[in-house]
């Protein structure tokens, strides 16, 4: 985008579309976090790039909140999907070959998986995980971590991302949530085992499960200490509770077997979504046979339902994505190396300019916090300067680099980014950050 025109200004097609959208969609969008005060309207994507309706091209690190893993419109996934359209259908009775193929691949890939169910989204997967945990333990309470996001449903609707004065307190994600759901969700601090231990002591034999993003990417990247994940595994087992890894972001992205493959901890239940099908809607829940058989309609007691569960296009896209990752393990060495190149480059710029900022991330994921380090948990994140991040984001967008607009989320390197892309991004970031300092 040239500097003499505003790519999101009132003379653009994007602006006009946003005006029209505001008449027919609440807030002009179909998911509230897609509107950030400026209109964005994209018409297409290609590999690491997206193009807006006015023809401006952006190098994309937003990646649809991480749903794009290999790159936009990747032929690896789109070609089999194209072939599937018109040959596959929906029946609502029995099972298809694709569903068995998908489950088999997921079970092979994920260390703790013996059976899986396919859902349409990550939220549905975590809803099923929480319900299954309650059924299996006969307990009601759920522990989650301040700042963790597990979807939009009631069971996980507390203490997602807070204003400092609301953190750890009464902080529903939305109006209209049952009080009992909010009261049944207990909040702990990430990377602080004592905060979880205290809840087990306070509520003996009442906690059904601890749910966690193994790396809470919904607040950037708080990488867990090994002691923390080992300790959670031991603590939940000792108290007869389940450990749920919500790998909706980390799954397939950081390793074929998810973060559980990397940290060596085996959760009881694992949820998936996002990048698993490179942009096509799907989610999943996997676990041991003993738990998953409770979804068995003949002999189990937990309802498994969903008209579109395991539908052909999502299953085809997920199978193609997983097969590609399995056949090309260099996807992980490449994206991890590019992520590291970005993080170390940003860290050098921050040091050079003497900024009060901290670079975080893991694998191909990176975040820039406008707060001095170390950043270990949510309490540290409350020092983040949101306005500074907003300025950084806006100026980077104006230069053609699309990053996530929320200050505590994260950016993604996909299978389509190159070293040259990263280096150009770093040059732009140096200019922007030097300008913000001046």
Q: Convert residues 248-267 into a mask of x (bound to ligand PLP by CB under 6 A) and - (unbound).
A: xx------------------
Please report, as residue ranges, which positions from 29 to 88 form the binding site for ligand PLP (by CB under 6 A): 65
Q: By CB under 6 A, which span of 109-117, 130-138, 243-251, 391-399 interacts with ligand PLP?
A: 243-251
- C-alpha span between 181 and 172 (Å, rounded): 10
Nearest to 207 by CA among 290, 294, 136: 136
Burial of 97 from C-beta contacts in 10 A (0-12 / 13-18 / 19+): exposed
- C-alpha span between 134 and 140 (Å, rounded): 6
Binding of ligand PLP by 7 (CB under 6 A): no
Q: By CB under 6 A, which span of 167-175, 246-254, 284-292, 395-403 interacts with ligand PLP?
A: 246-254
Q: Convert residues 189-228 into a mask of x (bound to ligand PLP by CB under 6 A) and - (unbound).
A: ------------------------x----x----------
Q: Which is nearer to ligand PLP, 124 or 398 (CB)?
A: 124
- C-alpha span between 438 and 436 (Å, rounded): 6
Please report, as residue ranges, which positions from 113 to 152 form the binding site for ligand PLP (by CB under 6 A): 121-123, 126, 149-151
- The alpha carbon of 284 is separated from its chain's Cα centroid by a whole number of angstroms, namely 14
Q: How far is the CB of 151 from ligand PLP (least distance, A)?
A: 4
Q: How far is the CB of 126 from ligand PLP (least distance, A)?
A: 5
The three-point CA angle 283-340-362 to 5° equals: 35
Binding of ligand PLP by 162 (CB under 6 A): no
Q: Which two tokens stand for residue 297?
A: 């309609």
Q: Which residues of 287-312 are buried (b: 16+ CB within 10 A; e: fewer)?
A: beeebbebbeeeeeebebeeeebbbb
Q: Which is nearer to ligand PLP, 149 or 362 (CB)?
A: 149
- How many residues sit in the footprint of ligand PLP (CB under 6 A)? 15
Binding of ligand PLP by 273 (CB under 6 A): yes
Cβ atoms of 372 and 351 within 8 Å: the answer is no
Name the residues that contact ligand PLP, by CB under 6 A. Answer: 65, 121-123, 126, 149-151, 213, 218, 246, 248-249, 273, 283
């Amino acid at each position: 985008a040239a500097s003499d025109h505003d790519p999101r200004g009132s003379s653009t097609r994007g602006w006009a579309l946003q005006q029209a959208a505001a008449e027919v969609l609440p807030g002009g969008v179909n998911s509230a976090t897609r509107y950030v005060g400026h209109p964005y309207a994209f018409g297409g994507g290609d590999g690491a790039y997206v193009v807006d309706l006015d023809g401006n091209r952006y190098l994309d690190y937003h990646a649809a909140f991480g749903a794009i893993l290999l790159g936009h419109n990747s032929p690896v996934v789109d070609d089999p999907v194209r072939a599937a359209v018109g040959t596959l259908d929906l029946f609502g009775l029995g099972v298809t070959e694709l569903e068995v193929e998908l489950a088999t691949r997921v079970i092979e890939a994920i260390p703790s998986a013996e059976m899986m169910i396919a859902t349409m989204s990550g939220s549905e997967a975590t809803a099923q995980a929480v319900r299954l945990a309650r059924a299996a333990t006969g307990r009601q309470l759920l522990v989650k971590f301040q700042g963790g996001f597990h979807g939009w449903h009631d069971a996980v609707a507390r203490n997602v991302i807070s204003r400092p004065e609301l953190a750890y307190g009464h902080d529903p994600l939305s109006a209209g949530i049952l009080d009992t759901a909010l009261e049944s969700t207990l909040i702990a601090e990430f990377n602080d085992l004592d905060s979880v231990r205290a809840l087990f002591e306070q509520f003996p034999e009442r906690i059904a499960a601890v749910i966690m993003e193994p790396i809470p990417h919904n607040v950037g990247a708080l990488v867990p200490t090994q002691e923390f994940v080992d300790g959670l595994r031991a603590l939940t087992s000792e108290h007869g509770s389940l450990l749920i890894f919500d790998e909706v972001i980390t799954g397939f992205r950081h390793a074929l077997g998810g973060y559980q493959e990397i940290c060596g901890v085996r959760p009881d239940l694992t949820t998936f979504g996002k990048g698993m099908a490179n942009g096509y809607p799907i989610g999943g829940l996997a676990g041991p046979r003993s738990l998953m058989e409770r979804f068995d309609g003949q002999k189990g007691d937990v309802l498994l339902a969903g008209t579109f569960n395991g539908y052909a296009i999502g299953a085809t896209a997920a199978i193609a994505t997983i097969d590609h990752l399995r056949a090309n393990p260099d996807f992980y060495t490449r994206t991890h190396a590019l992520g590291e190149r970005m993080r170390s480059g940003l860290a050098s710029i921050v040091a050079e300019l003497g900024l009060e900022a901290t670079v975080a991330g893991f694998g191909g994921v990176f975040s820039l916090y406008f707060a001095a380090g170390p950043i270990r948990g949510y309490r540290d994140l409350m020092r983040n300067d949101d306005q500074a991040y907003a300025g950084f984001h806006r100026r980077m967008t104006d230069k053609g680099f699309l990053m996530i607009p929320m200050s505590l989320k994260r950016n993604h390197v996909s299978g389509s980014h190159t070293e040259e892309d990263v280096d150009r991004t770093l040059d732009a970031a140096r200019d922007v950050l030097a300008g913000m300092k001046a």
